[in-house]
A and B are shown apart, each in its own frame.
Chain A
Amino acid sequence: MIHYFILQAGPVSSVSDTNNSFNYFPIAIQLIFAIAFVAIMMGVTHWLGPKRATEEKLENFESGIEIRGNARQPMAVKYFLVAILFVLFDVEVIFFYPYAVNFRELGWEGFMAVLMFVGFFLAGFYYIFKKGALNWED
């Protein structure tokens, strides 16, 4: 039944065909090729390459910089703060998507609702700003 090129999505012959999972078959093949390529390349280099273990070669690779100290030291709490704030502000975008898709149908009422949402958000942002949570140097 495969009468089209193997890596190209087949033409949709009817509406009922759009949801046919067989349409995704080329994508699956491409995935398999990609994974196999990477795996083979890694395996072959491992197998062909010579192995001379000197002390310098056994060190952890840190992009050419010499290793100093332990990586597991406590970070400044600022990183956490910024990370947490990022998570919050990032996720709120979720509510803009449905609005952006439907904003004509929702009209002024929807616009007011979104404006209110943004207003609440800006109040929070203003608070964070005033509190100095985003000041990197102290």
Chain B
Amino acid sequence: MNELQFKALLPYSLLATASIIVILLIAFRRNHFMIQVVGFLLMCGVIFALVQVRPLLPVAIPPLFQIDGFALLFTGLIIGSVAIVGLFSYIYFEAREENPKEYYILLFLSTLGSAILAISNHFVSFFLGLEILSVSLYGLIAYLRNRNHAVEAGMKYLVLAALTSAFLLFGMALVYMDTGTMSFPEIAQKLSAGGGSSVLFVMGMGFIVVAVGFKLALVPFHLWAADVYQGAPVPVTAFIATVSKIGVFAILLRFSLDVNLQNFPLAIDIFAIIAIASMIIGNLLALRQANLKRLLAYSSIAHLGYLLVAFLPGNMAGVEAAVFYLLAYSITLLSAFGIITMLSTRKKDADDVEIYRGLFWKKPLMALVLTIALLSLAGIPLTAGFIAKFYVLGAGIQSQLVLPVIVLVVTSVIGLYYYLRVISVMFAAPVPAEAWEKTVSPLFYNSTYIALVILALALVALGVFPGLVVEDIRTLLTVR
């Protein structure tokens, strides 16, 4: 490994060191506050390193990694989301009886997995990244181990994820048989030379699609989503909804760009069907949910379906739209889950929609943030969600994807119903509620509050001036 490659890997090495540092901090019996602060500083360090690495790109580290503008964008998204999730975690776990410290080891490890997915270029790194991500997720989901819900959700995720990783491996082995290589560019070469028509190869790709679909909770493989979202601790739910999906989507996008998925009409048809099914079923199942976490789970299934519409064209416009969509989506979900975290009490997560009845009259600012987030999820103009959907639609129409685009528009209208229902509950007359529990740490409570308000403002800002980031995304994506 030469010096340039070493420098380009620096953000990722720092991320890997972060969990080691946290392990040592725990071994030396440091308290939760210190671990939280050190963790936050480390994440800032990673972002700083990413900025420093930017002019060196693109750097290839054969055979496993390819660090380019695309990877930088996704890694930035992942690290940014994780910094905010980490911030929520303090008030959530400090209020609970379990020891909160090991949580940060697992959090940083799974972030590492997700970031590795964003740069990997080879089946081995793909698999390792995915497993680092999901093995630490098992621990994170079942973290509140004395609560039955958490262990049940962890167990469900564990069995299904282990099953799908076996599927993934089987698929990889079959593809390896046909092409004789595991690195994406070489597979692409073999394919353009006329390979990839054998039955085993197609089966292998099918297995891989199953595994990726599971991780993204796309429709035939979405059954775990609602239960896991409901049972996991709220910050972990936010993590699953943003970081893990960003990482897996990054590798899906990279693979399909490398092998030029456009040339395989069968694959495009399958993805179109999955996207349409996700949009329809996700939105329909969300209609009748009285639990906000489950509602967000189904809505995220639908959103991943929208995202796949941007993925289908396989051109630069589509990739741009997908990146912008992920940015808007993760900011939106993080602010929604942030509000849920702040309202959760020691005994119960604030996931029942009835808890939000009359929230506006009690805590107007919080209700406003949640309203903006839900409006953005619904895709109302002047929010980032609208612009994101607009870009996706644009990319879809350019490539004449008639059916997916029509389904997108229709299901968005259906989706409006359940988001507006939650909003109307918030603005309803308040019930005489019990006193809010006192917060454990005013410092972190307030900083979480400030972060949430900033996120909500960012949503509006992106909705009004999308040009703020679109140019940057475009220039970064050209660094390949």
Contact = CB atoms under 8 A, between A and B. Distances in A.
Interface string A96-132: 0000000000000100000000001001101101110
A127 B1 contact: no
B1 A123 contact: no
A120 B20 contact: yes
Nearest to A128: B27
A117 B367 CA distance: 48
B27 A126 contact: yes
B30 to A, nearest CB: 12
Q: How large is the interface on A (under 10, 10 to 19, 20 to 34, 35 or more residues)?
A: under 10
A123 B18 CA distance: 12
B23 interface: yes
B431 interface: no
A127 B24 CA distance: 7
Contacts of A129: 27
Nearest to B1: A109
A126 B28 CA distance: 10
Interface string B21-61: 00110111100000000000000000000000000000000
A31 B119 CA distance: 51
A130 B20 contact: no
A132 B176 CA distance: 44
A46 B24 CA distance: 61
A23 B26 CA distance: 57
B1 A130 contact: no
Interface string B9-27: 0000000000010011011
Contacts of A123: 20, 23-24
Contacts of B27: 126-127, 129-131
B453 to A, nearest CB: 37
Contacts of A124: 23
B18 to A, nearest CB: 12
A121 to B, nearest CB: 10
Nearest to B13: A116
A85 to B, nearest CB: 14
A120 B28 CA distance: 16
Contacts of A120: 20
A129 B26 CA distance: 12
B105 to A, nearest CB: 9
A131 B29 CA distance: 9
A54 B23 CA distance: 61
Contacts of B20: 120, 123
Contacts of B24: 123, 126-127
A109 B26 CA distance: 31
Contacts of A126: 24, 27
A126 B26 CA distance: 10
A130 B25 CA distance: 11
A127 B28 CA distance: 9
Nearest to A120: B20
A61 B27 CA distance: 47
Q: Kindly name the residue among B1, B24, B27, B28 whose own CB sees the greatest number of chain A CB atoms within 10 A.
A: B27
A84 to B, nearest CB: 12
A58 B4 CA distance: 75
A127 B104 CA distance: 14
6 contacts: A120-B20, A123-B23, A123-B24, A126-B24, A127-B24, A131-B27
Given A127-B27, A130-B27, 17 more contacts: A109-B1, A120-B20, A123-B20, A123-B23, A123-B24, A124-B23, A126-B24, A126-B27, A127-B23, A127-B24, A127-B26, A129-B27, A130-B26, A130-B28, A130-B29, A131-B26, A131-B27
Interface of B: 1, 20, 23-24, 26-29
Interface of A: 109, 120, 123-124, 126-127, 129-131
